């Protein structure tokens, strides 16, 4: 026959288990409320002034965009075609040393 332990003998162990569970639960909520650190965010998905719309910095694109701004091309198909042709010619040209 088995001896069943009394409930008073189990109360300290039960209270420790509940305290540990509550501590883990509070810690999980605290971690979930914190914003991610900059090292965990991907640079391609984080928009910034230098990284517009999540693009990586491309000097050729910046130069073509500046040329379009200098020529005062309005936003639309003509500007898009100009930048597209400018990028094609930038890819075809050898890099200057």
pLDDT digits (tens, 9 = 90+) for 30-80: 887 777 666 655 555 555 555 555 556 778 888 888 888 888 888 888 888
pLDDT digits (tens, 9 = 90+) for 80-93: 888 888 888 877 76
pLDDT digits (tens, 9 = 90+) for 4-15: 667 777 888 889
Are the beta carbons of 73 and 82 closer than 8 angstroms? Answer: yes
Output the six-digit token pair for 84: 């597209």
Say what the alpha-carbon torsion angle 59, 64, 67, 73 is, to the nearest 10 degrees: -140
* pTM, entire model: 0.39
Q: Residue 52: its pLDDT value, please?
A: 53
């Amino acid at each position: 026959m088995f001896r069943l332990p009394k409930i008073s003998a189990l109360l300290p162990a039960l209270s420790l288990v509940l305290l540990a569970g509550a501590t883990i639960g509070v810690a999980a909520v605290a971690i979930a409320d914190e914003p991610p650190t900059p090292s965990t965010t991907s640079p391609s998905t984080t928009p910034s002034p230098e990284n517009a719309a999540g693009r990586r910095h491309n000097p050729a694109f910046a130069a073509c965009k500046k040329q379009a701004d200098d020529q005062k091309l309005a936003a639309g198909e003509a500007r898009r075609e100009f930048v597209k042709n400018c990028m094609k010619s930038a890819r075809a040209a050898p890099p200057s040393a």
